[in-house]
Amino acid sequence: PSAAFVYRRVRRRLPRVSLATVYRNLRTLAAEGFIGERADASGLRFDGNTAPHDHFTCVTCGRIYEVPASPPALARGRLAGRTGFEILDHRIEFYGRCRACRRGGGGRTRTSPLDTTRRESWRGEASRAARASRI
């Protein structure tokens, strides 16, 4: 999720917490390896799943799903051994239509996977809530 999403969730229990505090703590957790951190077209996102995995983004509804690591992701060690590179990270992104959107048979498909006009934040939180938190 984005820092703004986490902030909205934390404020339910700690109404006086600031976005800066949430962001600083997320960055610290990422630096220590407790959570993952990745940038995408909609900004910086944090991921509680630190095990190897990839992401699938639905181009219709904008939801992001975690999917099992693909064979190229599992080959990092072999690549490093063959090339002598120190591979710090990699990212594989899949784009398509999720099961719900395929069943629904419609909706506007974005022209580019990087078009974030309909992107929903992590686990289906509507993007309008993210826009509302930007003050």
What distance in Å separates the CA atoms of residue 53 and residue 117, rounded to the nearest whole number?
A: 25
61 CB neighbour count, 10 Å cutoff: 19
Q: What is the pLDDT of residues 3-53, one digit of tens each?
A: 888 999 999 999 999 999 999 999 999 898 898 887 777 778 888 877 778
What's this model's pTM, rounded to 2 decimal places?
A: 0.56
The three-state secondary structure class of 84 is coil
β-sheet bridge partners, residue 67: 54
Range list of H helices, the chain: 3-11, 19-31, 71-74, 76-83, 99-104, 127-133
